[in-house]
């Protein structure tokens, strides 16, 4: 029986995983893989076909995973890894004898010796990594896998930069094989240290030894029946085959571009720098937006790299700077692919109960593909060694076929991986748009500030700042701020939601607030939903009309009007008739006006007649004006009447009279009354002006006018006759209505 490792224990021991990965990276970067190893084999005088064969031995041995995975699980994943991980470094030390063998027996024998050492090394590595993949899935919590994978990548890249810098210095200081021997010694020592550190990592206990072999075979059959997993293997296979063809890229840089060995090793530093600079961003994006969009974004970058390599200046002072720039871009793309691929594999594709079987197939498959790539590349380079020409503006050489082939395979990989099962609906295009909308740099800066903020004042300020970025990247944090323990932060988050780009997640979170038990926030939430303008808020706002909190009912009515919910007109009209609460009455009246509910004109006018508050009377008059139409003209006239009521009224009347006179159909008495009314208002005789205005309305022919217009004019005539200039809103409403009528 195995004991499950708790997430707390995993989190506590995760730093040891970083240390183990970093110390192992020294061995990998120094001499085991990459440019230094290729240059070492070239220094031995081996032809490219033999170099490709030696490179293929390491991945080809991965096929052993299909047969040894159950035994590794029963023996213990951790125990298996430690034993064979340590053994691979001891075996690799046998390469220290290469100078003696080369001197004594020549290139043919040294090739056999190197091949034998690498074969033994590859077998030990295959056994260790067969145990490592399911063990790694076990000891990393899924919730942080993307970010932690990025942390591993950063630590390894930093160590790789330092290792490659040392390797570049050593290779540049001298010539001959002795300099490679120094790299082998340093790499093996750090490899053994990484083996010791692995003992401090959790998990990896032996499984039930009674589990039959048929269970393992059945698990692999289930994995092969998993369409999404098979699609993933196919897409990954094409990608890795293309990358395998590029295993001779260091020699391309040496032979075709004209870089020195030391500078070629320096390119690895450029790649690592690009990966480091983008690692946290890609890991964060993978955890937040899912694996597939990040992975595909990386592959789109990788797709363009062969073109960049082919267009590089050759044997030029610009060769190294351009190569370093492309290397930096390469690191960004590879980091995106790595962060997305790791999370996709471990979180979305491989079920934990069958991790051993799935990972055995995965490891064996990538081993086969990675082995084929160098073989094909070496064979192709030897066969096309005499190729040298130009096609349009592109130079064509022995490396051109493998560069083109790698680009085609990356494109085919993208087409397959688009259809793999994943944990998100976000596409690569949507992810790219997120970084193009608003201010992404300001968004990232505000996110860092938000996660570092502790006191309430800072959280409020950073919440506001996130909204000002107007970037989709801040949506998750804004949603989190809506649930902050502080009322002020929650309130600011509601306000900020109206300042950033609309997002369904924000809308849903604000709707939850309306449905909650916080009326103060519910009021702000109703207003925010109206500002956001998402029709999904209509139904929750309708339900809020029956809330026990009066102000929430009022705000919901106004919000429904802003959202154009004409179906709520009967309910709002009934509420206006029966409601006694003044703040609710004006809210219902304003909402009906905004919805241009002509059937509610008389109800609003009746309500206006009884109001004492001047401010509420003006709002009710605005509601009536909205029903008639021409809100902008109403507001302009209202502003003028506030400053100079007589002059403004006179100017409005003269304009109305002029339009009627042009028509030539108005009675002379009416035009005469208008002139007298305008004269009275012009000398600030408001009493006479309002009386004449009431008389003018009475004389105005109303045939052909809308029912709502006749109702408004009738009410204005009655109220002006009764109150005169004391109720200025009726003068305003009358002049506005006459202006609208004469403009039609």
pLDDT in tens, 473-507: 888 888 889 888 999 999 999 998 888 888 888 98
Give CA torsion, residues 401, 405, 406, 411, to 10 deg.
150
CB 292 within 8 A of CB 237: no
Average pLDDT over residues 189-200: 89
CA distance 327 to 309: 10
Q: Please list, in sequence order, all residues whose beta carbon lies within 8 angstroms of the beta carbon of residue 714, skipping any fewer than 6 positions away.
A: none
CA distance 146 to 153: 11
pLDDT at 610: 87
Least confident piece of the model among 264-268, 302-306, 615-619, 711-715: 264-268
Q: Please list, in sequence order, all residues whose beta carbon lies within 8 angstroms of the beta carbon of residue 393, skipping any fewer than 6 positions away.
A: none
Q: Please list, in sequence order, all residues whose beta carbon lies within 8 angstroms of the beta carbon of residue 357, skipping any fewer than 6 positions away.
A: 69, 216, 219, 220, 222, 223
Is residue 116 scored above 90 in pLDDT? Answer: yes
Tokens 């004449």 belong to which residue?
692
CA distance 439 to 690: 56
Least confident piece of the model among 231-245, 315-329, 364-378, 602-616: 364-378
Least confident piece of the model among 137-141, 217-221, 494-498: 217-221
Is residue 143 scored above 70 in pLDDT? Answer: no
Measured between alpha carbons, how far is residue 149 from residues 349, 405, 735 in Å?
Answer: 17, 29, 71
pLDDT at 333: 87
Half-sphere exposure of 409 (CA within 13 A, CB side): 22
Measured between alpha carbons, how far is residue 50 from residues 56, 57, 247 in Å?
Answer: 10, 11, 13
Average pLDDT over residues 665-688: 83
How many CB atoms sit inside 10 A of residue 159's CB?
Answer: 20
Tokens 């930093």 belong to which residue?
158
Measured between alpha carbons, how far is residue 726 from residues 189, 240, 719, 731 in Å?
Answer: 97, 85, 10, 10
State the DSSP H helix or E strand holding residue 389, giving kind and residue range, or none if neither. strand 388-391
CA distance 250 to 259: 9
Measured between alpha carbons, how far is residue 270 from residues 187, 314, 446 in Å?
Answer: 21, 19, 29
Average pLDDT over residues 374-402: 80
The dihedrals phi and psi of 27, each to the nearest 5 degrees, come to: -60, -45
CA distance 506 to 529: 10
Least confident piece of the model among 367-371, 457-461, 615-619: 367-371
Least confident piece of the model among 151-160, 452-461, 565-574: 151-160
pLDDT at 452: 81
Average pLDDT over residues 71-81: 83
Would you state the CATH architecture of domain 26-432?
A: Up-down Bundle (1.20)
Tokens 């022919």 belong to which residue?
701
Cα–chain center distance at 606: 54
The dihedrals phi and psi of 391, each to the nearest 5 degrees, come to: -125, 105
Output the CATH code of domain 442-628. Answer: 1.25.10.10
Domains 26-432 and 442-628 are alike in CATH topology: no
| Domain map (residue ranges) of the chain | 26-432, 442-628, 641-743
What's the mean pLDDT when you consider all of the chain?
84
At 419-431, the pLDDT tens digits run 887 767 777 777 7
Top-confidence residue, 615 or 7 = 615
Task: For residue 223, count CB atoms less than 10 angstroms from its CB and return exposed for 0-12, middle for 13-18, buried for 19 or more.
Answer: buried
Task: For residue 11, count CB atoms less than 10 angstroms from its CB and return exposed for 0-12, middle for 13-18, buried for 19 or more.
Answer: middle
Is residue 34 very low, low, confident or very high in pLDDT (cuts 50, 70, 90)? low
pLDDT at 588: 92
At 393-452, the pLDDT tens digits run 678 888 888 888 888 998 899 888 888 877 677 777 777 777 778 887 888 888 888 888
Beta bridge partners of 397: 388
At 530-577, the pLDDT tens digits run 888 888 889 999 988 888 888 888 999 999 999 998 999 999 999 888
Is residue 196 very low, low, confident or very high in pLDDT (cuts 50, 70, 90)? very high
Least confident piece of the model among 265-279, 475-489, 578-592: 265-279
User: What DSSP line would sit under 147-186, residue for residue?
Assistant: HHHHHHHHHHHHHHHHHHHHHHHHHHH--SSHHHHHHHHH
Is residue 662 very low, low, confident or very high in pLDDT (cuts 50, 70, 90)? confident
pLDDT at 1: 41
């Amino acid at each position: 029986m195995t004991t499950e490792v708790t997430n707390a224990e995993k989190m506590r021991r995760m730093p040891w995983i970083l240390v183990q990965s970093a110390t192992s990276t020294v061995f990998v970067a120094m001499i085991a893989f990459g440019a230094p190893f290729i240059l070492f084999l070239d220094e031995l005088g081996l032809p490219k076909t033999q170099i490709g064969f030696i490179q293929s031995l390491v991945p080809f041995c991965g096929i052993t995973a299909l047969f040894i995975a159950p035994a590794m699980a029963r023996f213990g994943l951790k125990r298996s890894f430690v034993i064979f991980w340590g053994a691979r470094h001891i075996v690799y030390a046998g390469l220290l004898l290469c100078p003696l063998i080369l001197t004594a027996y020549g290139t043919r024998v040294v090739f056999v010796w190197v091949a034998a050492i690498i074969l033994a090394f590859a077998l030990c590595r295959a056994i260790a990594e067969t145990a490592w993949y399911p063990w790694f899935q076990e000891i990393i919590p899924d919730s942080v896998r993307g970010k932690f994978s990025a942390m591993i990548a950063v630590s390894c890249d930093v160590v790789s930069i330092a290792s490659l810098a040392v390797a570049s210095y050593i290779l540049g200081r001298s010539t001959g094989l002795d300099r490679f021997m120094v790299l082998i010694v340093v790499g093996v020592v750090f490899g053994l240290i990484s083996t010791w550190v692995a003992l401090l990592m959790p998990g990896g206990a032996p499984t039930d030894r009674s589990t039959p072999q048929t269970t393992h075979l059945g698990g692999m059959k289930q994995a092969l029946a998993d369409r999404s997993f098979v699609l993933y293997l196919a897409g990954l296979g094409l990608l890795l085959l293309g990358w395998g063809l590029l295993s001779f890229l260091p020699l391309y840089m040496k032979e075709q571009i004209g870089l020195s060995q030391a500078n070629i090793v320096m390119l690895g530093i450029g790649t690592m720098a690009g990966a480091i600079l983008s690692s946290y961003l890609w890991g964060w994006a993978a955890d937040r937006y899912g694996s597939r969009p990040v992975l595909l974004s990386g592959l789109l970058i990788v797709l363009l790299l062969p073109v960049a390599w082919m267009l590089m200046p050759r044997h030029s002072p610009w060769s190294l700077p351009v190569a370093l720039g492309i290397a930096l871009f390469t690191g960004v793309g590879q980091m995106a692919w790595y962060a997305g691929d790791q999370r996709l594999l471990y979180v979305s594709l491989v079920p934990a109960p069958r991790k051993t079987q799935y990972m055995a197939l995965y490891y064996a498959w990538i081993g086969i593909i990675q082995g084929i790539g160098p073989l094909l590349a070496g064979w192709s380079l030897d066969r096309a060694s005499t190729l040298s020409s130009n096609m349009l503006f592109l130079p064509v050489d022995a490396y051109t076929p493998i560069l083109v082939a790698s680009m085609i395979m990356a494109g085919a990989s993208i087409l397959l991986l688009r259809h793999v099962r994943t944990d998100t609906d976000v596409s690569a295009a949507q992810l790219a748009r997120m970084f193009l909308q608003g201010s992404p740099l300001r968004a990232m800066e505000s996110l860092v500030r938000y996660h570092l903020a502790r006191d309430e004042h800072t959280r409020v300020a950073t919440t506001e700042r996130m909204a000002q970025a107007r970037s989709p990247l801040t949506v998750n944090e804004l949603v989190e701020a809506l649930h902050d323990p502080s009322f002020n932060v929650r309130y600011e988050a509601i306000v900020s939601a109206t300042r950033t780009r609309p997002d369904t997640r924000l809308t849903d979170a604000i709707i939850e607030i309306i449905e909650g038990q916080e009326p103060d926030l519910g009021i702000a939430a109703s207003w925010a939903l109206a500002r956001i303008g998402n029709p999904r808020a209509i139904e929750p706002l309708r339900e809020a009309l029956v809330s026990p909190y009066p102000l929430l009912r009022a705000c919901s009515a106004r919000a429904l009007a802003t959202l154009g919910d004409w179906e709520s007109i009967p309910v709002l009209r009934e509420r206006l008739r029966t409601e006694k609460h003044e703040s609710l009455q004006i809210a219902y009246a304003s909402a009906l006006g905004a919805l241009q509910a002509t059937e509610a004109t008389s109800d609003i006018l009746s309500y206006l007649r009884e109001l004492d508050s001047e401010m509420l009377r003006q709002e009710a008059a605005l509601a009536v004006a909205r029903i008639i139409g021409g809100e902008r003209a109403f507001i302009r006239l209202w502003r003028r009447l506030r400053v100079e009521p007589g002059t403004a009224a006179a100017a409005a009347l003269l304009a109305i009279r002029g339009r009627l006179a042009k028509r030539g159909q108005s009675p002379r008495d009416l035009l005469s009354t208008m002139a007298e009314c305008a004269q009275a208002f012009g000398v600030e005789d408001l009493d006479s002006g309002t009386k004449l205005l009431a008389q003018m309305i009475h004389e105005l022919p109303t045939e052909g006018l809308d029912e709502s217009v006749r109702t408004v004019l009738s009410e204005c005539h009655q109220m002006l006759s009764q109150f005169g200039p004391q109720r200025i809103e009726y003068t305003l409403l009358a002049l506005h209505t006459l202006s609208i009528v004469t403009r039609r």
